[in-house]
Amino acid sequence: MNRRAILYSMLGLAPVAKAWQESGGAAIPATLGEAVAMGLPRFFTAAEFAVFAELGAALIPAYDGRPGAIEAEAAEFLDFLLGQSPADAQTLYKQGLATFQLRRKAGMAAALEELSKPWSYAGPKTAYGKFLAAAKVAFYQATVNSRQWAEAMSARSRAAAGVGSYWLPVE
């Protein structure tokens, strides 16, 4: 018995919930795992997602026993997150990814050249530069906050106290 069924039975809504599901009513995911398992629509198409994952691998590679964006499944999480983001963030990522696809034909160094420009407080001036800066931060945060990162870091030494404390969703 799952948590939702218990709550419905405690509230006396079990018959209503069962009738809703039997009538073809849409199930509402309670956790990210349920949302992924339900196959909810994604933000990127399959081709765009492959390019987005490649960008993540280039920005945050695995090194010295630490997982990179690919191992941490950061692209999958960000794809879900972007699907729930405001329209301006979605536009930034769609247009930025299209520009990245065009520029990477000349090589990865040419595609990421905007990141090597001198840093300023104002940040990048071009839309593509803003995309790369946002993607770099997003991939980094998604990677270091992943379960895979927590497991890798807690296995490295005893000095990583509390790093292995990763909370899984309650089912």
Asked if residue 114 has pLDDT above 80, the reply is: yes
Instruction: Spell out the domain ranges in the chain.
Output: 3-30, 46-156
Crossing angle between the packed helical segments 46-59 and 74-83, to the nearest 10 degrees: 130
3-class DSSP state of 169: coil
Does the predicted TM-score (pTM) go above 0.75?
Answer: no
Q: Average pLDDT, stretch 62-81?
A: 92
Q: What is the percent of the chain where pLDDT is above 90?
A: 46
How far apart are alpha carbons 61 and 69 in whole angstroms?
6
For residues 130 and 117, is the Cβ–Cβ distance under 8 A?
no
Output the pLDDT for position 15.
Answer: 53
Asked if residue 109 has pLDDT above 60, the reply is: yes
Task: Calculate ∠ Cα 135-138-144, nearest 5°.
Answer: 135
Output the pLDDT for position 160.
Answer: 57
Output the pLDDT for position 74.
Answer: 93
> How many residues comprise the chain?
171
Q: Average pLDDT, stretch 117-136?
A: 89
Output the pLDDT for position 8.
Answer: 56
Q: Residue 79 corresponds to which amino acid? A: D
Output the pLDDT for position 121.
Answer: 85
Q: What is the percent of the chain where pLDDT is above 70?
A: 67
Mean pLDDT lowest among 53-57, 95-99, 156-160: 156-160
Give the chain's mean pLDDT.
80
Asked if residue 29 has pLDDT above 90, the reply is: no
Q: Average pLDDT, stretch 48-69?
A: 93
Asked if residue 91 has pLDDT above 60, the reply is: yes
How far apart are alpha carbons 4 and 29 in whole angstroms?
10
